[in-house]
Structure 1
Amino acid sequence: MFVYDPKSEIKEFNLAYLTLARKLINQDVQSAIQTLSIKQDVAEMMMSLSTEQVERIAAGSVVLGAFALDDYALLSQLSRGVVYSPTVPSVPTLNPSAGPEAKRAPFTRKMKVATC
């Protein structure tokens, strides 16, 4: 019998988030800080963590990264093909395969990834 284990899914998500965050920071610190909505000292600490520390942090019961999709209008715009562009936060990029309705009302709110 399958027993749902949310803690293992949280760990998997956290590992993926920390791995991605560390790759982004390693590639371009300032861009990663903006994209991840973290501070310089957090970025530095993330890069200083050992593999064991990353795994221990990821195994906690807290989701480390969360999408700022608590706004119905923002989620509605994203579902119509408007894609967030981190290089120009106030100007979205339209997905050409989204169709004509995506061109009606692009959002102007910046999408964030929150950290705990």
Structure 2
Amino acid sequence: MMTSPYVDEIQEMNLAYLLLAQRLLNHDRAEAMFRLKIDDEMADLLVSLNAQQLSRLAGINQLLCHFGPESAAQLRQVADNPRDQGLAHFHSSLLMASRSQAPQGGGHVG
């Protein structure tokens, strides 16, 4: 089986994402669920993972965090936002919050 030269980087990113998700959930669960676009069941699962489980989950060759199909237009709006800096942050948050929540299955964490 041929592997991509980026698999190690993907796995490192997965671990960083999972660790960040756990920290966010432990700090402020409601805000973390909103920012990660996850439900209670996924939040409970992420918080309950031990180091061995995190490592095993991070070790897959696909990114756990992902952009949804509607993300390109929203990201373009955020990137090309001409508003002043104070309103831009608020506007960007609203745009990204409007993303529909991805289905919780098929190996996607958030």
Q: TM-score w.r.t. structure 1 length?
A: 0.65
Matched, 1:47 2:41: no
Deviations 1:35-90 (A, max 9, x none): 1111111111111111111011001112111134745432322222479xxxxxxx
Equivalent position of 1:7 in the other structure:
7
Equivalent position of 1:99 in the other structure:
none
Equivalent position of 1:100 in the other structure:
none
- Please say if residues 25 and 47 of structure 1, whose CA atoms lie closer than 8 Å, have aligned partners that are also in contact: yes
- Please say if residues 36 and 113 of structure 1, whose CA atoms lie closer than 8 Å, have aligned partners that are also in contact: no
- Please say if residues 25 and 32 of structure 1, whose CA atoms lie closer than 8 Å, have aligned partners that are also in contact: yes
Which structure is larger by alpha-carbon Rg, 1 or 2?
1
Sequence identity (%): 29
Note the residue ranges of structure 2 that are not aligned, 5 or more in a row: none
Indicate the RMSD between aligned Cα atoms, in angstroms: 3.1
Aligned length: 95
Aligned pair in 2 of structure 1 residues 60, 36: CA closer, same or farther (>3 Å)?
same
Aligned pair in 2 of structure 1 residues 82, 33: CA closer, same or farther (>3 Å)?
farther
Greater helix content: 2
Structure 1 position 5, deviation (Å): 1.6
Q: Residues of 2 paired with 1:28 and 1:59: CA distance? A: 27
Amino acid corresponding to residue 80 of structure 2 in structure 1 = R
Greater strand content: 1
Q: Residues of 2 paired with 1:17 and 1:113: CA distance? A: 18
Q: SS where residue 61 of structure 1 aligns?
A: coil
Q: Residues of 2 paired with 1:73 and 1:39: CA distance? A: 24
Note the residue ranges of structure 1 that are not aligned, 5 or more in a row: 84-91, 96-102
Q: SS where residue 34 of structure 1 aligns?
A: helix
